[in-house]
Amino acid sequence: MKCRNTITGALLFAASIMSIGNATAQDVHFTQFNASPLTINPAFTGAFQGEYRVSAVYRDQWRSALGNAAFKTYAVSVDMPLIRDISIDDYLAGGIQLYNDRAGDGNLNNFSGLASLAYHKFLGRDGKMALTVGLQGGYSSKNLDISKLYFAGDFNEGNWNPGVSAEWANLNNRVGSWIVNAGLAWSHAASDKFSYVLGVGANNLTQPLESFQKQQSTKDVGLGIRYTAQAGAIIGVSDRFSIRPAVLFQSQNAASEIVAGSEFHYKLGDDYTYPTAPAIYAGGWYRHQDAAMVTVGVEFKGFRIGAGYDFNTSDLKNATNGNGGFEVMVRYIAPSPIEFAHKLLYPCGRF
């Protein structure tokens, strides 16, 4: 089966499901991964200081090579504490995550709607440590416009007769499955100048079988479990300036990915109140054997608005002319009432 784009299109599609080595499928993928925390680890649901959080990120990848068939991805989420003071400062948080991706001339579309719950257990006398367990579940559906695909059987003596090939009768244009994800996280405000968060997660625990073929083989393997590990920190250099390094590791089937780098954050003005204090930031990141990335943005009155860009460094750069993906994101955290904000300060809101 071939799509309309030939060698370049095939290479780009292959690259989209590979980070290092080969893979049968790959989940959500963002440069500004901290802009969509619920796609990284369900334990990050409600892991912030505030009443509620709304996040959105949009990614446009390889448009210079694929034009209108470029990979277009967005993720939108909202999360908040649901039940507070379950045991002293402990609370239960909930959230909803929507994700959609469209790519290729066949308009391969992947949509997921997920709901999350996370229990935050505060430890220590000062409540500066928190252990969180998160669970996420929902439904994922994939659509394909079969009419825009070419099959070898549709060609006869140089003429193209769509619908003739037997492949057409053996394909569905839609598949769907239920998905379950789980994760753990540990946050610690070690001092006024240093806090960190660690997390691990497992996604696609149900390993749903995703195939557009009507007659599926018993040897077909479902969507692989995606294992994740995260580490992030906030290092206060001064009252205004902080360094915020982070590492993300993901592994799915034979593919793996490592993203590492740091954000450099500078507060403006005299108001240091989180999350309303105005600030600017810039970051540098590297995705192993794939891309170098930069991020920039501003923060004000609870909003965080940023942009990111990938510079392809793998062998694929010959087909993409070094171009990668462009992203924009916006996040809003509603400040907590003063009495609650004084009572509870989340140890680290790095993700």
DSSP 212-232: -BSS--TT---PPPEEEEEEE
Specify the DSSP element, H or E, that contains 53: strand 52-61
Contacts of 315 (CB under 8 A, 6+ apart): none
Residues 75-113 pLDDT 10s: 999 999 999 888 888 999 999 999 998 876 667 888 999
What is the rounded average pLDDT of the residues 124-149?
A: 87
Rounded to a whole number of angstroms, the CA Rg of the chain reads 22
pLDDT of residue 152: 63
Interatomic CA distance for residues 306 and 324, integer angstroms? 17
Beta-strand relationship, 155-156 and 194-203: unpaired
pLDDT of residue 327: 95
What is the rounded average pLDDT of the residues 206-215?
A: 75
Q: Which two tokens stand for residue 231?
A: 């580490």
Cβ atoms of residues 324 and 291 within 8 Å: yes
Beta-strand relationship, 91-103 and 71-83: antiparallel
Residues 256-300 pLDDT 10s: 999 999 999 999 988 888 888 899 999 999 999 888 999 999 999
Residue 216: pLDDT band with limits 50, 70, 90: low
- Judged against a pLDDT cut of 60, whether residue 13 lies above it is answered with no
Residue 8: pLDDT band with limits 50, 70, 90: very low
What is the rounded average pLDDT of the residues 292-311?
A: 95
Cβ atoms of residues 31 and 257 within 8 Å: no
Specify the DSSP element, H or E, that contains 211: none
The full DSSP string for 79-141 is EEEEE--SSTT-EEEEEEEEEEEEETTTTEEEEEEEEEEEEEEEESTT--EEEEEEEEEEEEE
Q: How many CA atoms lie within 13 A of 20 on its CB side?
A: 11
* Higher pLDDT, residue 318 or 113: 113
| Model pTM score | 0.83
Q: 139 forms bridges with which residues in the sheet?
A: 113, 178
* Higher pLDDT, residue 102 or 165: 102
The 10 Å Cβ neighbour count of residue 293 is 22
Interatomic CA distance for residues 47 and 94, integer angstroms? 10
Cβ atoms of residues 131 and 121 within 8 Å: yes
- Judged against a pLDDT cut of 50, whether residue 336 lies above it is answered with yes
Interatomic CA distance for residues 212 and 216, integer angstroms? 9
pLDDT of residue 68: 62
Range of weakest confidence among 33-37, 159-163, 272-276, 296-300:
159-163
Q: 109 forms bridges with which residues in the sheet?
A: 102, 143
List, in order of start, the domains of the chain with CATH numbers.
7-343 (2.40.160.40)
Above pLDDT 90, what percent of the chain? 51
- Judged against a pLDDT cut of 60, whether residue 67 lies above it is answered with no
Interatomic CA distance for residues 153 and 64, integer angstroms? 31
Range of weakest confidence among 13-22, 49-58, 90-99, 184-193:
13-22
Residue 57: pLDDT band with limits 50, 70, 90: very high
**E strands in the chain:** 52-61, 71-83, 91-103, 108-123, 129-143, 155-156, 159-160, 174-189, 194-203, 226-236, 241-252, 255-267, 279-287, 291-300, 303-312, 323-334
Q: 292 forms bridges with which residues in the sheet?
A: 286, 311
Cβ atoms of residues 187 and 196 within 8 Å: yes
Most confident range, picked from 22-31, 85-94, 143-152, 216-225: 85-94
The 10 Å Cβ neighbour count of residue 47 is 27
What is the rounded average pLDDT of the residues 314-318?
A: 69
Residues 185-204 pLDDT 10s: 999 999 999 999 999 999 99
pLDDT of residue 339: 56
pLDDT of residue 16: 37
Is the N-terminal amide bond of 42 cis, ω within 30° of 0?
no
Interatomic CA distance for residues 203 and 36, integer angstroms? 15
What is the rounded average pLDDT of the residues 28-55?
A: 92
Interatomic CA distance for residues 290 and 297, integer angstroms? 23
